[in-house]
């Protein structure tokens, strides 16, 4: 155990993943969190479940139901695209807390009232608890985390969630594109129904708050897909919750004694349905960054650079994936919602054509044996931060030699498995054996 006290603000997937990673490194960790204030359902893919399992969040997965085929109504066409698991976020959050308890993480229930940060630590006030003084702080409160300066924002986006109790029935989910946005629909086997409408803030023509529920009801009744999905049953005790879905990127995500992870670092468009995966993507490697900051302070700049670049590249990647989904909808290209989202964040291809001759070898931060170190990496179209190793084999020396030597000689010393994996990577980068 180290004597350093680490406090994580937020017990969502990102905060929980960082806590478990730090415990494995021998750190004492406390997590401050308050319970979710509204019921919510989230659709996740198989890779989200795999990422949660890889992070050690096994109890959180216990609420993952059997997969259901997700219906997609997009660009005037209807088809079943992929499977989706529906997670009850309140049960999921309880599972996260159980994983933390079993790992020996100190759980503190309460609302964070204030945080004062200095070069020597952090003073944190939590409602109902004594003030805490900690050495290192992890900001994982999602979109609710206070901003640090001017954030990079995508098109201003609002999501209106309606939830009600319907009849028990088959579990299902669906996505439908509309002229002024898109809708996600879900129904659990116990009859809980969810309808979330995501729209453009600048062009939305919404009535006053007291009329929003009726407005949403009218929109559902006007949709053939929604009527077919939910059926004719009366919608009982409909609840309304509004939340921002605007993509945001924090200008600073790491300092000498603090780090931001998950949606507190970057939050992207929910269209791809992998919000938890995106949140975990910036959190899984944070324990190694923190370990470097605390135990190798001479590498602080390198560690901070790694996390900053990692978050920025993930943000752009996910933003471009969302843009490409919007481009697929051709019917309303000039409508405000679609017009701006078809062009943001830029015009760069999500997956550029591979070109072996364009590969660059540079020195960059990488993760090795629990620390951030500097090494030669190969910068590719899909890996702008650089690829270091494949199956334990450093790539930069191989790429350098392959420019003047036959591949049989360069790869001769590798094991069968290493050779298979390295050849696959080289072919993906456009390498063509002579």
Residues 297 and 331 in one domain: yes
Work out the average pLDDT over 331-347: 96
Residues 333 and 369 in one domain: no
CATH of the domain at 251: 3.50.50.60
Both tokens of residue 208? 């006053």
Residues 257 and 134 in one domain: yes
Query: CB–CB of 394/376 below 8 Å?
Result: yes
Residue 189: which residues within 8 A CB-CB, separation 6 or more?
65, 168, 169, 170, 171
Neighbouring CB atoms inside 10 A of 333's CB total 11
Q: Is residue 321 part of a domain?
A: yes
Q: What does the buried/exposed string (b/e) look like for 305-332 if buried means 16 or more CB atoms within 10 Å of the residue's CB?
A: bbbbbbbbebbbbbbbbbbebbeebeeb
Query: CB–CB of 59/95 below 8 Å?
Result: yes
Query: CB–CB of 343/327 below 8 Å?
Result: no
Q: Is residue 73 part of a domain?
A: no
CATH of the domain at 198: 3.30.9.100
Q: Is the peptide bond before 414 cis (omega within 30 degrees of 0)?
A: no
The total domain count for the chain is 3
Residues 185 and 230 in one domain: yes
Angle (CA) 29 35 38, round 5°: 150
Both tokens of residue 251? 């200008």
pLDDT confidence tier of residue 346, bands split at 50, 70 and 90: very high
Domain ranges, residue 107? 5-65+87-151+247-337
Query: CB–CB of 159/198 below 8 Å?
Result: yes
Work out the average pLDDT over 153-159: 95
Cα end-to-end distance, the chain, whole Å: 54
Residues 37 and 105 in one domain: yes
What pLDDT, on the 0 to 100 scale, is given for residue 371? Answer: 97
**For residue 2, pLDDT beyond 60:** no
Mean pLDDT of the residues in the chain: 92
Mean pLDDT lowest for which of 51-55, 71-75, 125-129, 220-224?
51-55
Work out the average pLDDT over 161-179: 92
Q: What does the buried/exposed string (b/e) look like for 134-166 if buried means 16 or more CB atoms within 10 Å of the residue's CB?
A: bebbbbbbbeebeeeeeeeebbbbbbbbbbbeb
Q: Is residue 22 part of a domain?
A: yes
Which of 50, 331, 69, 39 minimizes the C-alpha distance to 194? 39
Q: Is residue 70 part of a domain?
A: no
Q: What does the buried/exposed string (b/e) look like for 90-99 if buried means 16 or more CB atoms within 10 Å of the residue's CB?
A: eebbbbbbbb
Q: Of 228, 244, 260, which residue sits at a domain end? A: 244
Both tokens of residue 410? 């360069």
Work out the average pLDDT over 305-318: 95
Q: Of 216, 244, 272, which residue sits at a domain end? A: 244
Residues 15 and 120 in one domain: yes
**For residue 369, pLDDT beyond 90:** yes
CA distances from 183 to 76, 154, 162, 366 (A): 14, 19, 11, 40
Q: Of 337, 368, 387, which residue sits at a domain end? A: 337
Residues 115 and 256 in one domain: yes
pTM of the model: 0.93
SS3 (DSSP) at 393: strand
SS3 (DSSP) at 388: coil
Which of 32, 43, 64 minimizes the C-alpha distance to 140? 32
What pLDDT, on the 0 to 100 scale, is given for residue 1? Answer: 43
Q: Is residue 434 part of a domain?
A: no
Q: Is residue 101 part of a domain?
A: yes
Both tokens of residue 201? 């803030």
Residues 229 and 192 in one domain: yes
Neighbouring CB atoms inside 10 A of 219's CB total 18
**For residue 107, pLDDT beyond 70:** yes
**For residue 103, pLDDT beyond 60:** yes
Q: What does the pLDDT look like over 262-282, one tens digit per residue?
A: 999 999 887 756 678 888 888
Residues 32 and 133 in one domain: yes
What pLDDT, on the 0 to 100 scale, is given for residue 4? Answer: 77
Q: What does the buried/exposed string (b/e) look like for 281-291 if buried means 16 or more CB atoms within 10 Å of the residue's CB?
A: bbbbbbbbbbb
Q: Is residue 177 part of a domain?
A: yes
Which of 210, 171, 177 minimizes the C-alpha distance to 194? 171
Residues 167 and 258 in one domain: no
Establish how many alpha carbons lie within 13 A of residue 358's alpha carbon, considering only the half-sphere containing its beta carbon.
11
Residues 111 and 255 in one domain: yes
Q: Is residue 395 part of a domain?
A: yes
Residues 204 and 186 in one domain: yes
């Amino acid at each position: 155990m180290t004597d350093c006290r680490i406090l994580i603000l937020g017990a969502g997937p990102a905060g929980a993943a960082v806590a478990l990673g730090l415990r494995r490194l021998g750190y004492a960790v406390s997590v401050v969190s308050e319970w979710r204030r509204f019921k919510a359902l989230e659709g996740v893919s198989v890779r989200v479940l795999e990422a949660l399992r890889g992070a050690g969040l096994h109890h959180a997965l216990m609420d993952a139901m059997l997969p259901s085929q997700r219906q997609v109504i997009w660009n005037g066409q209807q088809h079943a695209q992929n499977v989706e698991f529906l997670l009850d976020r309140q049960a999921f959050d309880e599972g996260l807390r159980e994983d933390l308890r079993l790992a020996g993480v100190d759980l503190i229930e309460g609302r964070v009232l204030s945080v004062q940060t200095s070069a020597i630590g952090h003073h944190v006030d939590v409602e109902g608890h004594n003030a805490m003084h900690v050495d290192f702080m992890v900001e994982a409160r999602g979109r609710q985390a206070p901003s640090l300066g001017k954030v990079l924002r995508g098109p201003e986006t609002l999501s209106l969630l309606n939830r009600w109790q319907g009849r028990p029935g088959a579990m299902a989910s669906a996505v439908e594109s509309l002229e002024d946005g898109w809708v996600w629909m879900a129904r659990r086997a116990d009859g809980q129904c969810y309808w979330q409408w995501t729209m453009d803030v600048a062009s939305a023509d919404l009535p006053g708050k007291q009329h929003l529920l009726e407005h949403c009801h009218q929109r559902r009744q006007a949709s053939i897909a929604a009527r077919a999905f939910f059926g004719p049953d009366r919608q009982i005790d409909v609840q309304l919750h509004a939340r921002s879905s605007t993509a945001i990127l924090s200008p600073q995500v790491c300092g000498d004694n603090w780090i931001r992870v998950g949606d507190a670092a970057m939050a992207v468009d929910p269209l791809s349905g992998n919000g938890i995966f995106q949140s975990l993507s910036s959190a899984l490697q944070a324990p190694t960054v923190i370990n470097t900051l605390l135990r190798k302070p001479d590498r602080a700049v390198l560690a901070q650079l790694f996390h900053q670049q990692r978050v920025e590249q993930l943000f752009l990647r996910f933003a471009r994936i969302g843009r490409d989904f919007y481009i697929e909808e051709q019917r309303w290209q000039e409508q405000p919602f679609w017009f701006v989202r078809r062009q943001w964040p830029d015009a760069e291809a999500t997956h550029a054509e591979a070109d072996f001759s364009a590969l660059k070898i540079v020195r960059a931060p990488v993760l090795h044996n629990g620390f951030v170190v500097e090494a030669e990496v190969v910068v590719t179209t899909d890996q702008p931060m650089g690829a270091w190793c494949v199956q334990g084999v450093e790539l930069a020396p191989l790429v350098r030699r392959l420019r003047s030597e036959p591949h049989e000689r360069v790869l001769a010393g590798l094991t069968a498995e290493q050779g298979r994996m390295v050849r696959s990577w080289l072919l993906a980068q456009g390498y063509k054996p002579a």
